Structure 1
Amino acid sequence: MTINYREKIEHSHVYAVARHTPLDELPNLSSRLNNRVLLKREDMQPVFSFKLRGAYNKMANLSAEALQRGVICASAGNHAQGVALSAQKMGCRAVIVMPTTTPAIKVNAVRARGAEVVLFGDSYSDAYLHALDLEQREELTFVHPYDDPDVIAGQGTIALELVQDHAAPIEAVFCCVGGGGLLAGMAAYLKAVRPEIKVIGVEAQDAEAMTESLKLGQRVMLEQVGLFADGAAVKQVGEHTFALVQQYVDEMIVVDNDAICAAIKDVFEDTRSILEPAGALAVAGLKAYSQREQCQGKTLVAVASGANMNFDRLRFIAERAELGERREAVFAVTIPETPGAFKRFCRLLGQRNITEFNYRFADTEQAHIFVGLAVHHPTEADAIAGKLAAAGLPTINLSDNEMAKLHLRHLVGGHAPQVQNEVVYRFEFPEKPGALMNFLESMGHNWNISLFHYRNHGADFGRVLVGMQVPPEDQVAFTQFLQQLGYPYWDESHNPAYRLFLG
């Protein structure tokens, strides 16, 4: 049966818990982009996210008997709070299954709404399967975070408010995408009432399940997803959402973590509000679209989908925002180890603002310098590298080198020529108390660890750079070890940044 989503959205029950959020202009970003940038402020909802719209609409359409038995969901964040608040409003039981890795601030926020929290497993997938088991055993109703027509319709009320509040022309509307509920609901409504508006979905570079599914014409299952934008980290999009996105969405844009950090800073500078990474995805996509299309004088709308930020994560975001905005570039520069060479290098940099500088004597012939510089335009980085190279100083632009940005800048000067057969890998593992020790114990092999760098970024996943001495005859066993370890990993043994500063 075909669902009339326009009618379903216009008759949705959301305002018992949700508020009609404002549509604010971002003056600084508008000026920089030469377009009018508007922000739909879903971060101003009672649970600081749009998710309560879909949750409440789903529950409002349940029978009295179903409500009496109670509801259940699996979520590590915003959907959990939406279900908990909705259940509190309706006076029904709510069971929320959350991974054991969920930060305490999110667990406490859900419990404060009166919901029962069950901590299970290290990932959303573990929690989801356990929730389905509890649903059957306790005869509860599962409230899906995105793949349900009532949930999709609830999220679509954001589009209804948008057209009510802004009758003037709109070039494009940008939505973050995890499972696709927000994008599907907004696209279905906008194309029904304002079909001239482009509807564009935005995904994180390491979690682009919708983008890949659209390319292949069917839903794909990603092997792993990056969890920086954890509110949108979904391995497979929904059936209902995929069908609607196929029908109504104009395009998808994929952005990296640095662009997300820059977008968080942009919104902060205009509003003094701090969005969570998933909440800023739409702004990052809007900026990428504006730059690509070189449009001017257009009205562009981004949905600020959430602001449930872990405070500790701000360290990482502040560090990467300038790189994301291309206002900082980082380089590896090789200079001769001769008197006056260091001073000559500094003269070549001129009056540029140096944001970071790391140097250590390596040998009697040459030295490697890790340097960060403030720039005004992305093309400046290549121009600087070219200028230094022309002066006889080999230079590598590391601004897009993830290992260099995550780990190397904190390790510069660690050459160890006596280390033989070293391989270097980056790993990610679920972050929780004792997680680092669990990671080390899971390695449990006799290969000597020759390098180790770990920083807690206040995220759900920890990131580690590990060097190990693996003789050639152990290579097969080492490959098996990596496969059995069960953590995402990246081989950095041939990364030029590693070779210059650490190898």
Structure 2
Amino acid sequence: MAGRTARERARLLHDYRVRIDNARVYDVAIRSPLDEAPRLSARMGNRVLLKREDAQAVYSFKLRGAYNRIVRLSDAERRRGVICASAGNHAQGVALAAQRLGIPAWIVMPRTTPQIKVDSVRSLGARAVLHGDAYDDAAEHAAELCAAKGLSYIPPYDDPEIIAGQGTVAREIIAQHPDPIDAVFVPVGGGGLIAGVAAYLKAVRPEVRIIGVEPSDSNCLAAAMKAGRRVSLPQVGLFADGVAVRQIGKENFRLARHFVDEVITVETDEICAAIRDMFNEKRAVPEPAGALGIAGIKRWVVQHGVRDQTLCAIVSGANVNFDRLRHIAERAELGDANEALLAVTIPERPGSFRRFCRDLGRHNISEFNYRYADAQGAHVFVGVKLAGGRDEAAQVLEGLRASGYAVVDLSGDEIAKVHIRYMVGGRAPGLSDERLFRIEFPERPGALLNFLSRLGDQWNISLFHYRNHGAAHGRVLVGLQVPRRERAENRRVLDEIGYPWWEESENPGYELFLGTA
């Protein structure tokens, strides 16, 4: 068995090295820069390099694989044209490749796709077809058009030529930095990039560690590695939409399980901090998926305590919606543990706020949210600036508790960060049977009306808070009055509506600031 595995590894390495060496990408792609990151290097105690795929013509590595796949079509296939389903970077890569080769292209995109991406595809000469509310709807329609028109379907990642095109990123890294590299950190979605990078590097520099980086709520490769087979995630987070994939590709996993050394996951706040790091380093703003490699380096260095190594992060893309920058800026401080969000109970009497600030010591308060609730204690939502990261946060918590305050750390609480900090003071006396739900609404006309219509009149809506973050889905917090005997029916109806949802009725921030008095 071991011998058969070794032979398979050797065959795969040889096959993909040949494919990558022969890949045709430079009709559309540049040899992207491999930049030093002096600020990050100083902070991390390691030499950090950034492979700048955000500098490509469509601000993403995706044009490499798309072109390498399309350029190999026969003349008859080219005349008929190509099609893909995508709401993001693959769409622009296919559109640009088709434009350069003079091939008709259809790009099927969900109706929730931001207009800037639709306009970008059309500006490249492709026909943007808007269909459905999610990627699966668009993919199904693309398959129908593909069959009806005799088009060639260009997959986003699960194809040897796509993988080979993406693998040229690794070939460039080796050419640009012939000195030793200890590890390369690769963003992972469907797996095309990491499959190509890992196959090439293990063929020519097997000592280099290949480390995949995924969001903790969209970790299809980590789940597959753990299970020893491909698995389909029941839900995926949408913040890093460029890697929001339920299942890694079949060929991609075949390569990854042989050649990827490790997969780590990072949180949303860490991704936001990595975006800010890139801006501070290069005055460039990667998209959330594009910053995963940087976030991965930061977490890995802390976890393993490594120093004086050469670490390379692939910055995979920069197609970020401008509307998301506010959210990213809000969360970056938390991602580097430069801020703590606390729920603190102080006495409801004159001078309590002054005493709290005195007990807090020489820490700046970034926000303080409070509204009178009762004559006893006041629950305040406070942001505290930190200079010493998580160790200092622990000291602040210990000091406040030693001074007699009841404190709950909400720094890692998604409900607190997205909703509660904007809703403090909303406690409702006498409200019975309230249950709290976090729901992701598709950003399209009629989404709210559809939700309300299918929910019906059975349960009263007692709370509703919506925030848009420039993504294809809006984050909604909903309170419903649901008697205990009706909870199973309530969950069934929410499932039937089809929007991703999570119950948050036991959330500590909700109980302190929004729950029934």
Name the TM-score, length of structure 1 as normaliser.
Answer: 0.98
1:52-89 Cα deviation digits (max 9, x unpaired): 00000001111111111111101001000000000000
Distance 1:229 1:171 in 2: 26
SS at match of 1:170: coil
Code of the aligned partner of 2:409: N
Kindly state the Cα deviation for residue 433 of structure 1 after the two structures are TM-superposed: 3.6
Partner in structure 2 of residue 495 of structure 1: 507
Partner in structure 2 of residue 382 of structure 1: 394
Q: For the Cα contact (< 8 Å) 1:72–1:95, is it kept in 2?
A: yes
Distance 2:501 2:393 in 1: 29
Question: 1:137 and 2:137 equivalent?
Answer: no
1:132-156 Cα deviation digits (max 9, x unpaired): 1111111111111100000000000
Distance 1:70 1:430 in 2: 31
Q: 1:430 aligns with which of 411, 428, 442?
A: 442
1:281-292 to 2 correspondences below 5 Å: 281-292=292-303
1:157-306 to 2 correspondences below 5 Å: 157-306=168-317
Distance 2:109 2:100 in 1: 21
Partner in structure 1 of residue 367 of structure 2: 356
1:314-372 Cα deviation digits (max 9, x unpaired): 01100101001111110000011133322211101122111111011111111101000
Percent identity between the two aligned chains: 57
Question: 1:477 and 2:489 equivalent?
Answer: yes
1:354-408 Cα deviation digits (max 9, x unpaired): 1111011111111101000111211222221111111111001100111101100
1:190-215 Cα deviation digits (max 9, x unpaired): 00000000001111111101110111
1:408-455 Cα deviation digits (max 9, x unpaired): 000001111121111111101211244334333332233111111111
Distance 1:243 1:416 in 2: 54
Q: For the Cα contact (< 8 Å) 2:459–2:480, is it kept in 1?
A: yes
Partner in structure 2 of residue 367 of structure 1: 378
Partner in structure 2 of residue 399 of structure 1: 411
Question: 1:88 and 2:86 equivalent?
Answer: no
Distance 1:268 1:443 in 2: 43
1:13-64 Cα deviation digits (max 9, x unpaired): 0000000011001111111111111100000000000000000000111111
Moved more, 154-163 or 433-442: 433-442
Distance 2:438 2:262 in 1: 32
Q: For the Cα contact (< 8 Å) 2:213–2:293, is it kept in 1?
A: yes
Distance 2:43 2:420 in 1: 32
Distance 1:458 1:54 in 2: 27
Distance 1:78 1:116 in 2: 15
Moved more, 262-271 or 346-355: 346-355
Distance 1:56 1:130 in 2: 23
Q: 1:321 aligns with which of 311, 332, 335?
A: 332
Question: 1:9 and 2:20 equivalent?
Answer: yes
SS at match of 1:223: coil
Distance 2:344 2:478 in 1: 24
Moved more, 382-391 or 262-271: 382-391
Q: For the Cα contact (< 8 Å) 1:382–1:397, is it kept in 2?
A: no
Q: Which runs of 4+ in 1 moved over 6 A?
A: none
Partner in structure 1 of residue 160 of structure 2: 149
1:264-291 Cα deviation digits (max 9, x unpaired): 0000000000000010011111111111
Partner in structure 2 of residue 444 of structure 1: 456
Q: For the Cα contact (< 8 Å) 1:381–1:397, is it kept in 2?
A: no
Question: 1:342 and 2:335 equivalent?
Answer: no
Distance 1:176 1:42 in 2: 12
Partner in structure 2 of residue 110 of structure 1: 121
Distance 1:481 1:439 in 2: 10
Partner in structure 2 of residue 420 of structure 1: 432
Q: Structure 1's 315 and 435: CA in aligned 2 closer, same or farther, altered over 3 A? A: farther
Code of the aligned partner of 2:222: T
SS at match of 1:95: strand
Question: 1:486 and 2:495 equivalent?
Answer: no
List gaps (5 residues or longer) in structure 2: 1-7
Code of the aligned partner of 2:478: V
Code of the aligned partner of 1:229: A
Moved more, 375-384 or 411-420: 375-384
SS at match of 2:83: strand
Q: 1:466 aligns with which of 456, 463, 478?
A: 478
SS at match of 1:184: helix
Kindly state the Cα deviation for residue 485 of structure 1 after the two structures are TM-superposed: 1.9
Kindly state the Cα deviation for residue 487 of structure 1 after the two structures are TM-superposed: 1.4
SS at match of 2:128: strand
Distance 1:432 1:45 in 2: 30
Q: 1:52 aligns with which of 59, 63, 70?
A: 63
Distance 1:257 1:178 in 2: 15
Code of the aligned partner of 1:415: R
Code of the aligned partner of 2:510: Y
Distance 1:77 1:444 in 2: 35
SS at match of 1:420: coil
Distance 1:459 1:225 in 2: 14
Q: For the Cα contact (< 8 Å) 2:38–2:281, is it kept in 1?
A: yes
1:75-112 Cα deviation digits (max 9, x unpaired): 00100000000000000111101011000000000000
Q: For the Cα contact (< 8 Å) 1:58–1:150, is it kept in 2?
A: yes
SS at match of 1:378: helix
Partner in structure 1 of residue 467 of structure 2: 455
Q: For the Cα contact (< 8 Å) 2:162–2:192, is it kept in 1?
A: yes
Q: Structure 1's 327 and 198: CA in aligned 2 closer, same or farther, altered over 3 A? A: same
Distance 1:283 1:349 in 2: 33
Partner in structure 2 of residue 97 of structure 1: 108
SS at match of 2:242: helix
Partner in structure 2 of residue 27 of structure 1: 38
Q: For the Cα contact (< 8 Å) 1:415–1:501, is it kept in 2?
A: yes
